[in-house]
Structure 1
Amino acid sequence: LAQGFLDLPANRLDPTPATLQAIFDNSLIVLYRLLFILYAESRSLLPVPANRLYTESYSLDALKRRIVRELTQGQPAAASMTTFWQQLRQLWQVIDQGNPDLAVPAYNGGLFKAKIGAFLAQYQVGDLHLRQAIDLLARAPDPQGQRAFVDYRDLEIRHLGSIYEGLLEYHLRVAAAPLAVRVEKGREVYEAVDASQT
């Protein structure tokens, strides 16, 4: 998500320390919005599948399934397009304000309020990065090694708190050279890649 904010040319964001902090903070907001929606839709707190219009046109469930179809079919996504972002903005607005036609009451928490998402109203993440982020949240390897949808129904608030606390230990930095991910002792490690190897 953070890289997506930086890579979208229309954002014109320079990686200054203040900008990186704003990107980090708002990436966490997006992450928590996505986790909340995945949880709420899996528990039918949002009307999946009860309201057909919501399910087919607004839901994160429909978006994640579309993303899987695109990935399975090898369809490219453009870093400069923001189709998925616009769909998420509509969904966030529905959750924040409610919509009786979609059977969605207004959410009374602050997570979806426009005032905490002012950065998110001005800046966007392109489809390439947003598609990858949503897929990484929506699917995980099953016992056979295939990627399968994660069931968020049993997620608890304490899990979200643990995730949040763990993420706060990270900081965004601009790499001096291109990086590649290598798995070492079950953990992902980033290491510089020689430009001649790419």
Structure 2
Amino acid sequence: MREGVEEALKILANGFLAHPANKDLRQRLQEGKLTPLEYYRQLLRLIYRLLFLMVAEERGLIGARYDPEKSRIYNEFYSVSRLRKLAEGYSSGARRYCDLWLGLLTTFRLFAREELACRLGMGVLDGDLFSAQAIPDLEGTHLANIDFLQAIRHLSLYREGRNLRRVNYAALDVEELGSVYESLLDYHPVVTAGPEGRLQFELLSGTERKSWFLLHPPGTGQRADKKRRRPGYCRTVGEGNNQGRKGKSFAVFKGG
């Protein structure tokens, strides 16, 4: 499951960065108003919203208990379970519309606003995970359906030998979810910008407390970091230091 969560997170991260309509998101990262670490944390909250709803829905904890019609409306039009079914049968030729992601944002609003939740006979979900401040930079974004479905598929299915199995979220306990989160802290997020300005999100081995935004990716002639043995990393990334050797300027921003 950890591998599925990791892959889903990277697909979502790069899907948001790649969509032409998300110019503001890319600009905030480039200007340092949004650090790679905070972007990563918002993506984690998004992933855990999805996991929370998958567990709750499979256990029958969401929906109007005494109103079958309202429960049907939620299950058919707003549930994450509906998205799982779509993702498990999607093809690589899925259209690049953004309606599925926009629909999920509507589902999130159901659990954040009492007046909306009451219409379907449900209550709001209190706590930081579903608060308005949880994913502020992802609100108002667009995400192609193909990227969205690929991410959901990684959360929904896992490979056992040659077979794909469906994750049984009803049987998942808190400790298992917690262990997945802890394993993701072994990485630190990096956002790189290529020669054409296209941003790329990566998770590298290390600690979540370290993150960089690099404007000089591998192959652009910048000096590699010998310690990490990964080309493209600026040699001087100390606090408040953005100057490389021989007076060359490296556009590197630390976050976290």
Question: Which residue among 49, 52, 62 is the counterpart of 1:36?
Answer: 52
For residues 48 and 155 of structure 1, do their structure 2 counterparts lie closer, same or farther at Cα, with a shift above 3 Å needed? Answer: farther
Deviation at 1:157, TM superposition (A): 1.8
Q: 1:38–1:60: 8 Å Cα contact kept in structure 2?
A: yes
Q: TM-score under structure 2 normalisation?
A: 0.60
1:66 aligns with 2:83: no
Per-residue deviation, residues 35-83 of structure 1 (Å, max 9, x unmatched): 0011110111113995110110111111111222333xx54232xx321
CA distance in 2, matches of 1:123, 1:23: 13
Residue 108 of structure 1 aligns to a residue whose secondary structure is coil
Per-residue deviation, residues 11-54 of structure 1 (Å, max 9, x unmatched): 12155464422321111011001100111101111139951101
Provide the residue aligned with 1:128 in structure 2: 146
How many residues in Structure 1 have an aligned counterpart in Structure 2? 174
For residues 48 and 142 of structure 1, do their structure 2 counterparts lie closer, same or farther at Cα, with a shift above 3 Å needed? Answer: farther
Deviation at 1:176, TM superposition (A): 8.4
Q: 2:46–2:135: 8 Å Cα contact kept in structure 1?
A: no
Residue 111 of structure 1 aligns to a residue whose secondary structure is helix
Question: Which residue among 52, 63, 77 is the counterpart of 1:57?
Answer: 77
Relative to total residues, which structure has the larger helix share, 1 or 2? 1
CA distance in 1, matches of 2:103, 2:49: 13
Q: 1:11–1:123: 8 Å Cα contact kept in structure 2?
A: yes
Per-residue deviation, residues 94-136 of structure 1 (Å, max 9, x unmatched): 1222523423211122211112222121434332222111110
Q: 1:5–1:23: 8 Å Cα contact kept in structure 2?
A: no
Q: 1:82–1:124: 8 Å Cα contact kept in structure 2?
A: yes
Provide the residue aligned with 2:221 in structure 1: none
CA distance in 2, matches of 1:89, 1:131: 15
The percent of aligned pairs where both chains have the same amino acid is: 29
Gaps of 5+ in 2: 1-11, 195-217, 219-256
Gaps of 5+ in 1: 178-191, 193-198
1:90-169 equivalence runs, <5 A: 90-98=106-114, 99-142=117-160, 145-169=162-186
- Counterpart AA for 1:89: L
Q: 1:140–1:150: 8 Å Cα contact kept in structure 2?
A: yes
Residue 100 of structure 2 aligns to a residue whose secondary structure is helix
For residues 154 and 54 of structure 1, do their structure 2 counterparts lie closer, same or farther at Cα, with a shift above 3 Å needed? Answer: same
Farther-moved stretch of structure 1 (124-133 vs 3-12): 124-133
1:76 aligns with 2:94: yes
Larger Rg: 2
CA distance in 1, matches of 2:132, 2:189: 24
RMSD (Å) for aligned C-alpha atoms = 2.7
CA distance in 2, matches of 1:28, 1:111: 10
Provide the residue aligned with 1:85 in structure 2: 101
Provide the residue aligned with 2:61 in structure 1: 45
CA distance in 1, matches of 2:100, 2:64: 19
Q: TM-score under structure 1 normalisation?
A: 0.76
Provide the residue aligned with 1:186 in structure 2: none
CA distance in 1, matches of 2:15, 2:185: 19
CA distance in 2, matches of 1:64, 1:92: 16
